[in-house]
A = this chain, B = another copy of it.
């Protein structure tokens, strides 16, 4: 309903909608849905508040559009698990990809973190639908590798959870990580080595 006719869109529309979503990503990821104001979003986008509402009917719609747009990108690495590939390499590549996303797209990570913390009011359909499907599919691939003895047997769903938890931790709880580690260290670079070691140990048959 929000994207009924995406075909017809002016250059200006395209540009301003992008600006708004970009500003909204910054605002929502910094303060959560309720903490972010339309004024903040407008300022970050370089537009006036009424102009923002000219392109999006409500704050809610901006948020929803952001979530659904970014979810695609967010889950992409999991979809890339290649059933034909080498199991351990595939898993380690996935972990590396997720860590790089925490490094390069921390705002996106925090956006989802806020949403899920809140009980995912805007994502319930997606969570129980598309997400679950993708996770189940990936878990099935992992399970098959385990059946074949090419990966140690563990619960595939919890394996995925643990990878999410660990990799997103460095984006979501960055403030804590930095406070504990100090300013001079590079948390994510270090995490790469740690995570590889961890999951190699766990999964090597």
Contacts and interface: CB of A to CB of B under 8 A. Distances in A.
User: Which secondary structure dominates where chain A touches chain B?
Assistant: helix
Interface centre among A114, A164, A173 (most CB of B within 10 A): A173
A141 interface: no
A190 interface: yes
Given A31-B34, A165-B165, A197-B202, A173 B116 contact: yes
Interface residues of A, number: 52
B120 A179 contact: yes
Interface string A147-167: 000001011011101101110
Given A132-B179, A154-B197, A118 B166 contact: no
Number of copies: 2
Contact of A32 (B32, B164, B190): B32
Interface of A: 30-35, 110, 113-114, 116-120, 124, 127-128, 131-132, 135-136, 152, 154-155, 157-159, 161-162, 164-166, 168-170, 172-173, 175-177, 179-181, 190-191, 193-195, 197-198, 201-202
Return the 5 tightest CB-CB contacts between A and B, nearest first. A127-B179, A165-B169, A34-B35, A158-B194, A165-B165
